């Protein structure tokens, strides 16, 4: 960025320093710089002021309190570090300086690189997948703790567990949590807890520290041990800003050991509050039930009567019903008697003359018998005529006059000579009896037999 200035324009020192600061902050991006800390000053405000130098040059640096509190290690004179910051200018003195955002001990770049490589490898294998995460038991029968017996984290975890739920047994699986062989021993402790099956839950924890201090929990052997654990594992390593490979593999990650203990155990106070709340609800429900039942009892008590009073009322009701029945029976009898009298009057008015109708009936009977006799005689005459006609056309009568009926073997009546052939056996029916005959030589043709 270029600034143009006329010959007579004059600016203040403040404006110059502000322009220089803007140029530095806009022209140079944040970057990592390596060097040695010198002239270290830890101010009462919590900020750190120091110089970062190498063999040939140095530069002023400032790290403000909010960044310094999450550093994870204490700054010391002569410490070799790698820091990341923005190049700027302190306008009040015109000092060229670096505003530090992050810092790590020199050589930690290799550790971070190894951390990222192992993290990518295990993530590719699926060790971080949520489908592998196991649920925590709501009320574990026993809790195992994998940490150093001398660690402050152990005291924090035990104190928290004893405060929240002192009835849960605690079993310590001691192991170093820092040093060259710590990772292998942590993995062995996790395997031992799974082999012994004394607990339902494991807390793997240690207090805060530098990345080197926490490096055992970034080792692959520990990650593999947590992944193959059949017991649910809570990782409570370091402070909230610390993140390890164990945190990614564990079933649940807690920001601190104390938080891990709170996550592993139910709260006695919360359970007591739940019991108290349930008790209050039960008392209210029982109170409502007793009130309802008391009201119901009062209502039923008002309805309840002495058996003698109830019998007296039933006796009175029965007498009233008897009186009503007697009145109704008397009224019904009187009504039926009136109906009977009315029917008798009507019957007397409409009663027929039986003697006259008997004479008419006798006369009509004589007429019917005469009519039937004449009809029978007429039918007798018709029957005689039909019998005479039937006798005249009866084939049996024709046979009596010397005729015969000639039939072929299949029963066909022979009516013409053309039906016959020489040697054919015929059946002949006479007036008295039957016989057979054989057809001889035909002489001439006849259209029809004479019978």
Q: How confident is the model at residue 444 (pLDDT cuts 50, 70, 90)?
A: low
Tell me if residue 446 falls in helix, strand or coil: coil
User: What per-residue confidence (pLDDT) applies to 204?
Assistant: 95
User: What per-residue confidence (pLDDT) applies to 116?
Assistant: 84
Is residue 210's pLDDT more than 90? Answer: no
Do 146 and 193 form a contact (C-beta atoms < 8 A)? yes
Is residue 173's pLDDT more than 70? Answer: yes
Rounded-to-integer distance, Cα 128 and Cα 247, Å: 9
* Segment 261-305, tens digit of pLDDT: 999 888 777 777 888 888 889 988 898 888 888 888 877 777 776
* Segment 221-237, tens digit of pLDDT: 999 999 999 999 999 99
More confident residue, 171 or 313: 171
Encode burial over 308-335: b for 16+ CB neighbours within 10 A, e otherwise.
Answer: eeeeeeeeeeeeeeeeeeeeeeeeeeee
User: What per-residue confidence (pLDDT) applies to 449?
Assistant: 45
Rounded-to-integer distance, Cα 64 and Cα 378, Å: 152
User: What per-residue confidence (pLDDT) applies to 353?
Assistant: 72
Q: How confident is the model at residue 3 (pLDDT cuts 50, 70, 90)?
A: low
- Per cent of the chain over pLDDT 70 is 93
Is residue 448's pLDDT more than 50? Answer: no
First and final C-alpha spacing in the chain: 156
Strand partners, 202: 144, 233
Q: Dig out the tokens for 407 from the structure.
A: 């039939």
Pairing assessment for the beta strands 143-147 and 170-174 based on DSSP bridges: parallel
DSSP letter (8 states) at residue 447: S
Rounded-to-integer distance, Cα 274 and Cα 269, Å: 8
Rounded-to-integer distance, Cα 448 and Cα 420, Å: 11
Residue 133, number of CB atoms within 10 A of its CB = 14
Q: Dig out the tokens for 245 from the structure.
A: 């490979």
Q: Which helix (H) or strand (E) holds 3?
A: none
Is residue 446's pLDDT more than 70? Answer: no
DSSP letter (8 states) at residue 49: E
Rounded-to-integer distance, Cα 235 and Cα 190, Å: 12
Q: Which CATH architecture has domain 13-106?
A: Beta Barrel (2.40)
Do 98 and 85 form a contact (C-beta atoms < 8 A)? yes
User: What per-residue confidence (pLDDT) applies to 442?
Assistant: 62
CATH class, 112-266 region:
alpha beta
Closest CA to 1 of 17, 24, 18: 24
Rounded-to-integer distance, Cα 294 and Cα 208, Å: 64
* Segment 356-391, tens digit of pLDDT: 888 888 888 889 999 999 899 999 999 988 888 887
User: What per-residue confidence (pLDDT) applies to 239?
Assistant: 82
User: What per-residue confidence (pLDDT) applies to 7?
Assistant: 55
User: What per-residue confidence (pLDDT) applies to 443?
Assistant: 55
Query: How much is the pTM?
Result: 0.46
């Amino acid at each position: 960025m270029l600034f143009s200035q006329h010959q007579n324009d004059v600016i203040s020192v403040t404006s110059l320093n502000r322009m220089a600061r803007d140029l530095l902050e806009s022209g140079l991006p944040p970057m990592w710089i390596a060097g040695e800390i010198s002239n270290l000053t830890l101010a009462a405000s919590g900020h750190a002021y120091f110089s970062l130098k190498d063999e040939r040059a140095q530069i002023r640096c400032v790290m403000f309190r909010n960044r310094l509190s999450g550093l994870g290690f204490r700054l010391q004179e002569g410490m070799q570090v790698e820091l990341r910051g923005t190049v700027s200018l302190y306008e009040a003195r015109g000092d060229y300086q670096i505003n530090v955002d992050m810092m790590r001990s020199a050589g930690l770049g290799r550790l971070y690189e190894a951390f990222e490589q192992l993290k990518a490898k295990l993530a590719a294998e699926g060790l971080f997948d949520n489908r592998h995460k196991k649920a925590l038991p709501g009320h574990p029968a026993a809790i195992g703790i994998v940490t150093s017996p001398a660690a402050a984290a152990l005291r924090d975890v035990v104190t928290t567990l004893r405060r929240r739920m002192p009835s849960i047994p605690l079993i310590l699986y001691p192991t170093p949590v820092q040093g060259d062989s710590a990772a292998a021993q942590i993995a062995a402790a996790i395997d031992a807890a799974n082999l012994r099956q004394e607990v339902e839950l494991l807390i793997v924890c240690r207090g805060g520290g530098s990345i080197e201090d926490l490096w055992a929990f970034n080792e692959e052997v520990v990650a593999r041990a947590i992944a193959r654990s059949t017991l649910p594992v809570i990782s409570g390593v370091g402070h909230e800003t610390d993140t390890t490979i164990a945190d990614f593999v564990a079933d649940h990650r807690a920001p601190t050991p104390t938080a891990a203990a709170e996550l592993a155990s139910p709260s006695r106070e919360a359970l007591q509050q739940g019991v108290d709340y349930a008790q209050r609800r039960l008392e209210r429900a029982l109170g409502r039930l007793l009130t309802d039942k008391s009201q119901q009892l009062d209502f039923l008590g008002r309805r309840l009567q002495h058996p003698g009073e109830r019998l007296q009322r039933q006796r009175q009701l029965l007498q009233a019903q008897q009186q009503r029945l007697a009145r109704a029976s008397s009224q019904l009898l009187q009504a039926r008697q009136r109906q009977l009298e009315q029917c008798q009057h009507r019957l007397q008015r409409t009663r027929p003359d039986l003697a006259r109708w008997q004479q008419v009936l006798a006369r009509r009977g004589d007429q019917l018998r005469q009519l039937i006799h004449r009809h029978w005689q007429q039918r007798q005459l018709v029957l005689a005529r039909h019998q005479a006609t039937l006798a005249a056309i009866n084939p049996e009568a024709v046979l009596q006059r010397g005729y015969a009926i000639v039939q072929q073997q299949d029963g066909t009546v022979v009516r013409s000579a053309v039906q016959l052939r020489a040697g054919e056996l015929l059946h002949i029916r006479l007036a008295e009896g039957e016989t057979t005959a054989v057809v001889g030589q035909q002489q001439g043709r006849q259209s029809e037999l004479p019978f």
